[in-house]
Structure 1
C-alpha cells in the first residue's frame, strides 16, 4: 500500500485539494481527500510543497514506432507502399524499450495514444498504452482506440514520389470513400449471413479491420491540418455516419464556428517548431483558446517524435500564455484526451477506482520554466524518482 500526503492534489475531477492524501492499493486509487486514516503499514510519500497530478495523457503520438536516434532500422510507423492499409496494428511495431518511453515517464507522461503515421490514406489502428513496461501486450489500456486516416500533403508527397495515386486531394478522398463503401457492404453481408450463411462474404483482412469503425465502436482519427482537409474529413464521416476526431487541426481557429456546429473533438498540435510545410503556415498557439471558447472539446498533443513527448507540458503552457485558461490546459493533457479516446474510466484524473497513474512536481510544469518532475507512478508503482528530492 502506498500513500501520498501533504501535496496539493490536482484531481481533474473537481477542485484541487490542498494538503491532501491519496491512498493506493493494488495499483488502484483507494481513497483521495483530506483527513484520511492512513494505514500503519503503508509506504509514505511526503509531497509537502509539491503538486500532485494525474499522469499526462498524450492523445496523439507515434512513440515506440519511430524509435529515438536510430533511423530506418527503428522507423516502423509508415508502410508507405500502398495507400490503404487498415489491417496494420500499432501493437505489432511498438518497441517499449525505446528511449522515448524513458523520456515520457521522466516528464510525467503515463499514457500514450500511439499509432501509424500519415503517409497512407488509411494507415492502421492506434492503441492507448501505459508508458512503462517491457512487453507491450501488458501495457495496453485499449486496443484499438481509433483508425488513422490522413489528408493533405503527406499522402500526396509520398505517392507522388512513387508516381502513383493519390497525388491529389481528390484522389485521397476517392480512395477513402471507395474503401468505406466496400467496408459498408462487407458489414451488411456479415449481418445478413447471420440469417443466411450463404451470404457470408469471403474473409478480407482490410475490411475486417474497419468493422469497429463501421460499427461506431472506434472513431476515424483524421490527420488534417488545413481547413479544406478538415472539411473533407467531416464530409466523409457524415456521409458514412461514422465517428471522427480531428487531429492536428492546425487551422481550426479559422473555422471555429463551423467546428462547433460539427461537434467533433480536436487534438491540437504539434505547435512547437518551424513551419516545415505549407499547410502549417497558419499554425498558432491561440488555436486551443479559440476552439475552447467555441465550446469544442480539445486535447493538446506532441505528435511525438515531432515534439519530444516529455514536453507536452510546455505545449500546454504555451497555450496558456496565448490565452487558454490554465484549468483548461490541464484538462487538455489529462482528462480530455482520456475521455475522447474512451479510456477515462481508467486514466486522466485522480479518482477512487482509477489506475494509480500519478505525477509529482516541484513547481508548476505548465507555468514554471524551472519546474522538476519529482516522481512518476504508474499502476501504483514508482517508475521514476528524481534523485535530487
Structure 2
C-alpha cells in the first residue's frame, strides 16, 4: 500500500481537497478525500505532502519520445519512414526505446504518460501508441496501441517527396492520395465483412488491416496541420468519410476558431516553445490555446518532443495560461483533456477511485518556473523522488 497524506489535492475532476489523503493499492487509487483514517503497516509507504500540490500525472498528447532519441543522431532516429508516402502499417511500439534519456526527463517533470508515434514526413505515417513513461519493456508500458493513425498535410510531406521527384508535390496531391487510400481501406473492410458474413475464406491484407480501427471509430486520425488551409482540408476529408480526428499543432487555429469549433474536433496545440523555422509556423503564438478554449474547443498542449523538450510541457501550459488560456484550463490541458482526447480517460488524467495511480507531487503550481517536482508515481510505484 502507498499513502499520500496532508496534500493539496487537485483531482482535475470535480472536487479538490486542501488537506487530503490518497490510498493506493495494487496500482490503483482506492480512496481519496479528507478525514480518511489510515493504519499503514511496516512495509507500506507513506508520503507526507504537507504544503505540496498533488495532481494527476501530467500528459503529453503529441511527442516522439523514444522514437527520435536524444544524443543518438541518425542511429536513434526512427521517426519517419521516408521511402514511400503511405505507411499505415508501421507501429510506434516497434521503434520506441525505453532507454531514451528523455523518459527520465519526463518523470522528473511529473509526466507519467504520453502519446508517441511516427512523424509527419508521410501522408500516412503509421500507428501511434499511448504509453507510460516508466519502464524498461515497451510491452509493459503500453496503455493503448494502436491509439491513433498519423496523417500529415503541408510542407513536410511536400518538400520530402519533391526532393525525391515523386508524388506528392502539392497539397492537392496529398489530399487526393489520402482519399484514395481511405477508399481502398473502406472497400477492403466491406469485402472482409461480406466474406465473414457468408462464411467465405478471406485473406487479410497486412497493409490495410490497420485502417479497420479507424473506420470503426475505435481510434482517431491524428492530423499534422499547421496552416488554416491544411486544417480545413483535414476537416473536410474527415467529414467526407465520417472519421474521428484530432487536429495536432493547429498553429493557425486561432485564425479560424469558429470553423474548428463547428467541426467538433479536439485540438492538440504545440510546439509553441520552438522557432518559427517553417513558413507554415509563422503565426505560431501561445494565444492559440486560449482562443480555441474560449470557443468551447477541448484543448491539450503538447511539446512535439524533441522539437520542444518534453520536460518543458508544464511551462508551455503556463505560457498558454498567461496568454489567455487561464490557470484552470492550463492545468486541464496537460491532464484530463489530453486523457479524453487520447481515449484513455478511463485510466488516467484525473485522481479518482479505480483509476491508475499515476500521480505527480509538486512544491506548487507546475506551470510556474520555480516549482519543483518532488515525487512522480506511476502505477503506484515511486518512479522519481527529488534528492
User: 47, 50, 66: which is aligned to 2:49?
Assistant: 47
User: 1:231-246, aligned counterparts within 5 Å?
Assistant: 231-246=232-247
Quick one: distance in 1 between partners of 2:175 and 2:135?
Answer: 39
SS of alignment partner, residue 366 of structure 2: coil
Structure 1 segments (4+ residues) deviating >4 Å = none
User: 1:31-46, aligned counterparts within 5 Å?
Assistant: 31-41=31-41, 42-46=44-48
Quick one: distance in 1 between partners of 2:109 and 2:160?
Answer: 33
Question: Aligned residue for 1:20?
Answer: 20
1:294 aligns with 2:295: yes
Question: Aligned residue for 2:216?
Answer: 215
User: 1:372-387, aligned counterparts within 5 Å?
Assistant: 372-387=372-387
SS of alignment partner, residue 196 of structure 2: coil
**How many angstroms does 1:296 deviate by?**
0.5
Contact 1:189 1:199 in 2 (8 A): no
Question: Aligned residue for 1:60?
Answer: 62
1:350 aligns with 2:351: yes
Question: Aligned residue for 2:75?
Answer: 73
User: 1:325-340, aligned counterparts within 5 Å?
Assistant: 325-340=326-341
Question: Aligned residue for 1:176?
Answer: 178
Quick one: distance in 1 between partners of 2:93 and 2:150?
Answer: 14
User: 1:136-151, aligned counterparts within 5 Å?
Assistant: 136-151=138-153
1:105 aligns with 2:107: yes
**How many angstroms does 1:196 deviate by?**
2.9
TM-score, structure 1 normalization:
0.97
Quick one: distance in 2 between partners of 1:61 and 1:319?
Answer: 18
Q: What per-residue deviation string (whole Å, max 9, x for no partner) do you get for residues 140-174 of structure 1?
A: 00111110000000001111111111111011011
Question: Aligned residue for 2:187?
Answer: 185
Contact 1:51 1:363 in 2 (8 A): yes
Question: Aligned residue for 1:321?
Answer: 322
Quick one: distance in 2 between partners of 1:206 and 1:156?
Answer: 23
SS of alignment partner, residue 59 of structure 2: strand
Quick one: distance in 2 between partners of 1:40 and 1:328?
Answer: 36
Quick one: distance in 2 between partners of 1:181 and 1:156?
Answer: 22
**How many angstroms does 1:40 deviate by?**
2.9
Contact 1:192 1:199 in 2 (8 A): no
Q: How many pairs does the alignment contain?
A: 385
1:196 aligns with 2:205: no
**How many angstroms does 1:370 deviate by?**
1.3
Quick one: distance in 1 between partners of 2:325 and 2:344?
Answer: 24
TM-score, structure 2 normalization:
0.98
Q: What per-residue deviation string (whole Å, max 9, x for no partner) do you get for residues 17-75 of structure 1?
A: 10111011111101010000112314210111111111101111110000011110000
Q: What per-residue deviation string (whole Å, max 9, x for no partner) do you get for residues 206-233 of structure 1?
A: 2111111111111100000001000110
Contact 1:314 1:365 in 2 (8 A): yes
Quick one: distance in 2 between partners of 1:233 and 1:86?
Answer: 17
* Long gaps (5+) in structure 2: none
SS of alignment partner, residue 288 of structure 1: helix
Question: Aligned residue for 2:94?
Answer: 92
**How many angstroms does 1:197 deviate by?**
4.5
Question: Aligned residue for 1:133?
Answer: 135
Give RMSD over aligned pairs: 1.0
Question: Aligned residue for 1:4?
Answer: 4
**How many angstroms does 1:199 deviate by?**
7.7
Quick one: distance in 2 between partners of 1:361 and 1:198?
Answer: 59
Quick one: distance in 2 between partners of 1:198 and 1:307?
Answer: 51
SS of alignment partner, residue 134 of structure 1: coil
SS of alignment partner, residue 253 of structure 1: coil
Contact 1:190 1:199 in 2 (8 A): no
Contact 1:364 1:371 in 2 (8 A): yes
Contact 1:157 1:167 in 2 (8 A): yes
Quick one: distance in 2 between partners of 1:338 and 1:278?
Answer: 31
Quick one: distance in 1 between partners of 2:221 and 2:365?
Answer: 34
SS of alignment partner, residue 311 of structure 2: helix
Q: What per-residue deviation string (whole Å, max 9, x for no partner) do you get for residues 95-123 of structure 1?
A: 00110101110110000100000000000
Contact 1:115 1:127 in 2 (8 A): yes
SS of alignment partner, residue 347 of structure 1: coil
**How many angstroms does 1:198 deviate by?**
4.7
**How many angstroms does 1:203 deviate by?**
2.8
* Long gaps (5+) in structure 1: none
**How many angstroms does 1:340 deviate by?**
1.0
Quick one: distance in 2 between partners of 1:80 and 1:310?
Answer: 28
SS of alignment partner, residue 22 of structure 2: strand
